[in-house]
Structure 1
Amino acid sequence: MKNSRRKAKAVIVGGSIAGVSCAHALIAAGWDVVVLEKTSTPPEGCATGAGLGLDSVSEKLIQPWITQPELLQVLSLPMTIEHEQATDADKKITWTLTRDDNFNYKAMHWADLHRILYHSLSPEVVLWGHLFVSFSISDDKRSVKVQAKVLQTDETIEIVGDLLVSADGCHSAIRKTFLPDHKLRYSGYCAWRGVLDYSDNPQSETVVALKKAYPDLGKTNYFDIGSDGHAILYELINKRINWIWYRNQTEPDFKGNSVTTKVSKDMIEKMLTAAEKVWIPEFVKVMRETKEPFLNAIYDSDPLEQLYWDNVVLIGDAAHPISPHGGRSTNMSILDAAVLGKCLEKWGVEKLSSALQEYQSIRVVVAREQVLFSRRMGRIKQRLPLPDRELFDPVTADQKECEALRLRNIPYFCDVPSILI
């Protein structure tokens, strides 16, 4: 029966991890796929950028998509421990709040994960340097026409498909078409972040001191609550340290729709001076020796109740902008892609509405709970007010309060939708 169906076509807008994951899932479901990405070239050899945590569910979903599954092991380090601690700003000492020794994530660099997903697609699938312009749905709701500008030539092209997938991030232009009043919510804080590459001097004084202060680096995701926000520290392959410092501040004025920006030397120096008043010296030295740290404004949005309209569907951050404190953004994108692919395979293009309705019914509740949990966790760790509790105090917090900080408390932490089993 499945082989008698005509081959359907999807146009995916956005070539980040959500978009290329969706391409894999839809190709596996028997669809033709084209991905439109405004960036001119793949992010090969990206030295800066961010680390991410890949959970065990995402790892299993990705393996059949990629041509070299062993690369998931080669390009990652196991994070088997989640360590929540606090720092005394005056005494410059740390102490453990809670520790989860059954944590099961992989630490990867964003560019490494994207590269193995992208290179496992046929070269013609992703159209680089193609800026999404607009779309229109046919009167009979059976097709969608997408317009894109080829940035190199300035010409506009049209692509017709059965389905338009919005994987264009938290500032999604496609989402705004249907929900023009839906706004992103600034969290009240930004993240300073960077990756220290110490491969040229693995026994440097800075690295030796850091590993003495954080003895489980290489297998642990360290979360640290200080007097001014909280921080994250973990190791990546090829002798790199990923660090993040979340600081409360007024909303920055970034250009365009970007949530990240490069920063001036003066901004960096002010940040480092402030860091010396909050964190232990071993951590501050890592910050000082990091090339090109950058600033990331933290946003989410109130959860959506609808993820599709006719033959247009949202996935990834376009569907559920989320703050990073549940470790979910990348993992949600991969799961969205896998679920959408299975729903389309189950129902076929002839029953596209049923496929998208099932996708929405599976993902919308999970997304709502995870977005709200992550928002709440961020406010707790930033010591920002919540209506139903006192500010978190790491000095007086009891065991129950500390254990509530663990990532595994997020709803649907390890759940796998039945359609994927």
Structure 2
Amino acid sequence: MNHSHDLPHQEKPKPKPKPKPKAVIVGGSIAGVSCAHALIRVGWDVVVVEKSRKPPKGSPTGAGLGLDPLSQELIGTWTGRPELLHDITAPLTIDLNQAIDDEKTRKILARDENFNHSAAHWATLHDHLFSALPPEIFLWGHLFLSFSFSYDKQSVKIKAQVLDTGETTEVDGDMLVAADGCLSLIRNHFLPDVKLRYSGYCAWRGVFDFSGIEDSETIKKVRQAHPELGKCLYLDLAPGNHTVLFEIPNKRLNWIWYLNQPEPDLQGNSVTTKVRDDMIQKMYQDAEKIWHPALVQIMRETKEPFINAIYDCDPLERIVWDNVVLVGDAAHPTTPHSSRSTNMSILDAAVLGWCLEKWGSEYLTAALEEYQSIRLPVASKQVLHARRVGRIKQGLTLPDCEPFNPNTATPEECKMLPQSGLPFFGHNPLLGSSDLLLAGKR
């Protein structure tokens, strides 16, 4: 007699869920936290290894930056709080290049009223991105030492030193994302002969905090001399020099002065240098000979100005090896003249996320090859354009034109000055921004 119908109904065993793929991101700067957002959104587990002992929240270091419209939209989709980004940025709608002569008289060389960027402070933007991530994914105070592939190249293991204890620890993942900056050790592993290229000039820079002294003579005079502060990127050009001035939120002015000089002797793994008091005093005296007194006064009242040596790198031939991928300044160190460093980092992260989602983790090689094919040609052209613009603004030689003199420049010569001359300004070849934003919203 068959009693099989009396047996309890047996369910098919459920297939085991596939383990989530895991990425190890080396570097917790804006490129690193952007990648964390983009990868978590497309189903990856993420660990961020960062040598700083804590997030840079509230840090006065770092400087102002310009975010383009696509970066702003991407950040809004990652955090889900675009209104908060609006609160920590200020409009930069005008890009204004002016010549300044020996009499401190200014003449407009190029004015673009459709610049359409926003100004932010580096540390504030970092905090905005960091705060929207799960805090447990960060390994703070971990100094990256080295990495190795598994025998089948399917996984990667990184070694890091825990700075507080001196111990060495290991982290495994399916993919290594090198977001370790322009002096990237991971890039150096694959491309030991690639060196940063000194631009021929350095930048004095600082952030002037005028909170509580909004009615001071200094601020009155700087607003008189720069009536569109708060929405304008001001660039003053003198032979062999140029300055940048713009307002960032929380009552701060970001200023930069680029000046031609031999390559400085930098200590350690950094492109910034601490300055002595006598160097600062000389900077003030030199500034008085060239720049508008209102700007010089801002320089004088800025706490702890510092020197940034300006480097970039010839475009790389590749930014992907097996399951290792370069992003941000590790992939394309650039001079700052096209406001690209942060924007390129954010776009790298978005494109990487889009490619990983499109191909799935089982086709990781194809995903990373597509990421490289999209980002490498665009970033390479933008790096070379920023280099050229920097040399023009500094009056340095170029093979195809005479050194630029802002006081005698023709309208034709001034066409290179606005940032809108950047290749791919405002659009992204091979990938519509709507694709990236849809990927970001999932």
CA contact (8 A) 2:73 2:82 kept: no
Pairing 1:16–2:29 present: yes
Equivalent residue for 1:106? 118
Counterpart of 2:389, as a letter, is M
- TM-score in terms of structure 1 length: 0.97
CA deviations over 1:130-155 (Å, ceiling 9, x no partner): 11111101111110011111111111
Q: Which residue of 2 aligns with 1:59?
A: 72
Per-residue deviation at 1:375? 0.3
- Contact 1:228-1:278 at 8 Å conserved across structures: no
- Where does residue 322 of structure 2 map in the other structure? 310
Q: Which of the numbers 420, 424, 436 marks the counterpart of 1:420? A: 436
Amino acid at match of 2:161: K
2:175 corresponds in structure 1 to: 163
SS at match of 1:373: helix
Equivalent residue number for residue 57 of structure 2? 44
After superposition, residues 266-345 of structure 1 pair within 5 angstroms as: 266-345=278-357
- CA deviation after TM superposition for structure 1 residue 67, in Å: 4.7
Describe how 1:256-267 pairs up with structure 2 within 5 A.
256-267=268-279
1:93 to 93, 96, 105: 105
2:230 aligns with 218
2:59 counterpart SS class: coil
Q: Percent identity, please.
A: 61
CA contact (8 A) 1:227 1:278 kept: no
Separation in structure 2 between the aligned mates of residue 229 and residue 335 of structure 1, nearest angstrom: 31
1:189 and 2:201 matched: yes
CA distance in 1, matches of 2:55, 2:193: 33
SS for the counterpart of 1:399 is coil
Please state if 1:151 is matched with 2:163: yes
Listed one character per residue, the Cα deviations across residues 110-144 of structure 1 (whole Å, up to 9, x for unaligned) are 00100010011001111110111111011111100
3-state SS of paired residue (1:415): coil
Alpha-carbon offset, residue 94 of structure 1: 1.1
1:106 maps to amino acid: S
Offset from partner CA, 1:347-379 (integer Å, 9 cap, x none): 111111000000000000001100100000000
1:5–1:348 CA contact under 8 A, matched in 2? no
Given residue 186 of structure 2, which amino acid in structure 1 is its aligned partner?
I
SS in 2 for 1:70: helix
Deviations 1:181-234 (A, max 9, x none): 000000010000001111121011111011111110000001111134111000
Superposition deviation, residue 403 in structure 1: 2.5
- 1:400 to partner: Cα distance: 2.5
CA radius of gyration, larger in: 2
CA contact (8 A) 2:66 2:117 kept: yes
Alignment of 1:68 with 2:84, yes or no, is no
Shift in Å, 1:5: 5.4
Find the aligned partners of 1:48 and 1:198 in 2 and give their Cα distance. 16
RMSD: 1.2
Give SS of 2:58's match.
coil
Amino acid at match of 1:125: I
| SS of structure 1 residue aligned to 2:307 | strand
Q: Amino acid of the residue matched to residue 93 of structure 2?
A: T
Q: Indicate if the aligned counterparts of 1:48 and 1:292 stay in contact, CA closer than 8 A.
A: no
Amino acid at match of 2:392: I
Offset, 1:392 = 1.1
Aligned-partner residue type, residue 302 of structure 1: D
Letter in 2 for 1:393: N
What's 1:399 paired with?
411
Q: d(CA) in 1 for partners of 2:172 and 2:359? A: 21
Helix, strand or coil: the match of 2:223?
Answer: helix
Helix, strand or coil for the counterpart of 1:238?
Answer: coil
Say which is worse superposed, 147-156 or 356-365, in terms of deviation: 147-156
The residue that corresponds to 2:421 in the other structure is 409
Q: 2:219 pairs with 207, 228, 237, which one?
A: 207
SS at match of 1:65: helix
Q: Is the 8 A contact 1:10 1:32 kept in 2?
A: yes
Aligned residues: 418
Displacement of 1:179 in angstroms is 0.2
Report the CA distance between 1:49 and its aligned residue.
Answer: 2.4
Partner of 1:355: 367
**How far apart in 1 are the matches of 2:308 and 2:408?**
31
Q: Give the structure-2-normalised TM-score.
A: 0.93
Q: Give the partner amino acid of 2:214.
A: P
Distance of 2:415 and 2:28 partners within structure 1:
37
Tell me how far apart the structure 2 counterparts of residues 65 and 32 of structure 1 sit (CA, whole Å).
Answer: 15
